[in-house]
């Protein structure tokens, strides 16, 4: 592509704009022939410090921020001064890959909890409808049934647009993308046009990144106010206070869903939690009723079913397809996932790592227990990640001990912090004496499993699908599900 095709009128350009650009990079070590290097100001590393290295490695054009760098008088390099290099990265990436989102039906899902499960439910409905789908999210990226490792929930703008371009080339029709608050704040999905935007909920998380909940909400709102097409549709959970706020502020077409409000467009009139399935009676726009049976368990999954149903309605998918799809869709890895090795008690693994998610999970478990195992106990194993929002730690300690019969506090991903210090901060929010501290996560799972009696429910929260534990900057292989499976098998030997 010719460089001038990637430029905008507000860019400050010095040098040859007729250069052929065959590659874009924001990593000075990842330079190929005819590369455009974009210097990004990161939280830890400033890309402007590597401009000289990028040029030595062969970069022929450089994007820099006007207030951070003064270019040398170098006729061999084209200099492009911008106000925001992340914005430039998103713009240029979309242009470089020929605006792939315009050739796809784009569905963006944002919210603190429920993004992953909702994306898989929507994918299941679309596949049942005979459509080729792509998924971009936390667990993995999918191009139809081809799997790719997921580095971020939402990849950097360059990789995001490249992935969309590949999906176009492989005949994908619909893309379901989780859109994290980091992605919105860092412009990873800017210049992508979404046909449908889904808001699941908003609760305390990432306050190490966002200055407060208002900032968190405003960031999430960008998906609906700046990136949703003018004729796009917003799908919103109005049982969430921020969902109500968002719905009130939007002028776009909306489909509102709820368990509590019968005036919602999609309303769960009744639901029945069972040992192996959940039954939900859904009222649609006060005209139609849809009875759903799904293997997904718990109240959080009822909300996920409602958001996916609302999306299907927005896409004009027949209700019989929706109903049939839900009966076949399996639980995504680490999302209220049941681990069963023939034991006489229940074991669940869930990604709940925020106060709201943990409270929803354990409240759902309590209601579930009342219907399937009244005499059983709830035993919860959980921890909190290091180098993240410290304020949620005591809150999660309180929630876990108040909603469980026994809580086992352990290590999550301590990252660069000392696990015992994280645990002490969790402990500071606890007023009950129904907990124990077991810093070693593998040992905590073993103790929790061996503690279970007939009819008990063991809940392991925090890491979900993750297959590693991050300690002092290194990721060690670790899967809650696999450790639990081995422990449960050993009980039968």
| Beta partners for residue 418, in sequence order | none
Which of the four CATH numbers 3.40.50.920, 1.10.10.60, 3.40.1390.10, 3.40.50.300 does domain 3-96 have? 3.40.1390.10
Q: What is the CATH number of domain 100-328?
A: 3.40.1190.10
Q: State the CB neighbour count (10 A cutoff) for residue 164.
A: 28
How far apart are the C-alpha atoms of 198 and 188, rounded to whole Å? 17
What would the pLDDT profile of 355-379 be if each residue is shown by its tens digit? 988 998 898 888 888 876 678 899 9
User: Within the chain, which residues score under 50 in pLDDT?
Assistant: 206, 210
The H or E element that residue 433 is part of is none
How far apart are the C-alpha atoms of 295 and 8, rounded to whole Å? 50
Residue 232's SS3 state is strand
- What is the model's pLDDT at position 44? 75
What would the pLDDT profile of 217-238 be if each residue is shown by its tens digit? 998 999 999 999 999 999 999 9
Which percentage of the chain shows pLDDT scores above 70? 98
Comparing C-alpha atoms, which of 7, 135, 130 is closest to residue 79? 7
Q: What is the CATH number of domain 337-491?
A: 3.90.190.20
What would the pLDDT profile of 125-175 be if each residue is shown by its tens digit? 999 999 999 999 988 899 999 998 887 778 899 999 999 999 999 999 999
- What is the model's pLDDT at position 150? 81
Dihedral class, residue 464 (left if φ above 0, else alpha if ψ from -120 to 50, else beta): left
β 288-294/278-284 pair status = antiparallel
How far apart are the C-alpha atoms of 383 and 405, rounded to whole Å? 17
pTM: predicted TM-score of the whole model, two decimal places: 0.83
Domain boundaries, the chain: 3-96, 100-328, 337-491
Do the domains 100-328 and 3-96 match in fold? no
């Amino acid at each position: 592509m010719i460089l001038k095709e990637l430029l905008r009128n507000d860019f400050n350009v010095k040098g040859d704009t007729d250069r052929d650009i065959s590659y874009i990079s924001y990593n000075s070590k990842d330079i190929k022939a005819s590369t455009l290097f974009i210097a990004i100001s990161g939280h830890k590393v400033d890309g402007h410090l590597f401009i000289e290295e990028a040029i030595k490695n062969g970069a022929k054009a450089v994007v820099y921020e006007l207030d951070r760098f003064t270019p040398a008088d170098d006729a061999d390099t084209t200099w492009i001064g911008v106000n925001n290099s992340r914005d430039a990265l998103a713009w240029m990436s979309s242009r470089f890959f020929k605006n792939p989102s315009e050739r796809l039906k784009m569905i963006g899902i944002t919210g603190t909890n429920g993004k992953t499960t909702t994306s898989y439910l929507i994918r299941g409905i679309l596949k049942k409808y005979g459509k080729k789908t792509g998924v971009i999210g936390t667990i993995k990226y999918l191009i139809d049934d081809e799997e790719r490792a997921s580095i971020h929930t939402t990849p950097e703008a360059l990789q995001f647009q490249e992935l969309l371009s590949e999906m176009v080339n492989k005949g994908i029709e619909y893309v379901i993308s989780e859109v994290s608050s980091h992605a919105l704040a860092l412009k990873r999905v800017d210049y992508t046009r979404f046909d449908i935007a889904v808001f699941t909920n908003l609760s305390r998380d990432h306050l190490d990144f966002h200055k407060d909940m208002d900032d968190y909400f405003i960031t999430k709102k960008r998906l609906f106010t700046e990136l949703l097409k003018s004729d796009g549709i917003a799908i919103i959970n109005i049982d969430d206070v921020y969902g109500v706020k968002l719905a009130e502020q939007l002028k776009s077409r909306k489909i509102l869903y709820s368990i509590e409000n019968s005036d919602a467009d999609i309303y769960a009139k009744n639901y029945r939690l069972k040992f192996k399935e959940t039954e939900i009676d859904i009222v649609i726009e006060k005209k139609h009723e849809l009875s759903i049976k799904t293997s997904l368990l718990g109240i959080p999954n009822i909300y996920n079913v409602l958001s996916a149903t609302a999306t299907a309605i927005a896409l004009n998918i027949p209700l019989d397809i929706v109903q049939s799809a839900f009966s076949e869709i399996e639980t995504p890895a680490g999302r209220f996932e049941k681990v069963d090795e023939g034991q006489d008690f229940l074991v669940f693994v869930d990604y709940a790592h925020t106060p709201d998610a943990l409270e929803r999970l354990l409240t759902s478990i309590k209601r579930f227990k009342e219907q399937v195992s009244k005499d059983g106990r709830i035993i919860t194993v959980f921890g909190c990640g290091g180098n993240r929002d410290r304020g949620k730690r005591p809150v999660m300690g309180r929630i876990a001990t108040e909603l469980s019969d026994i809580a086992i506090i352990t290590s999550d991903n301590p990252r660069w912090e000392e696990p015992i210090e994280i645990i002490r901060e969790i402990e500071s929010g606890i007023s009950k004496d129904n907990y124990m501290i077991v810093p070693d996560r593998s040992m905590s799972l073993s103790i929790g499993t061996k503690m279970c009696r007939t009819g008990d429910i063991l809940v392991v929260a925090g890491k979900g699908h993750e297959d590693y534990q991050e300690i002092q900057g290194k990721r060690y292989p670790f899967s809650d599900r696999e450790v639990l499976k081995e422990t449960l098998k050993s009980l039968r030997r």
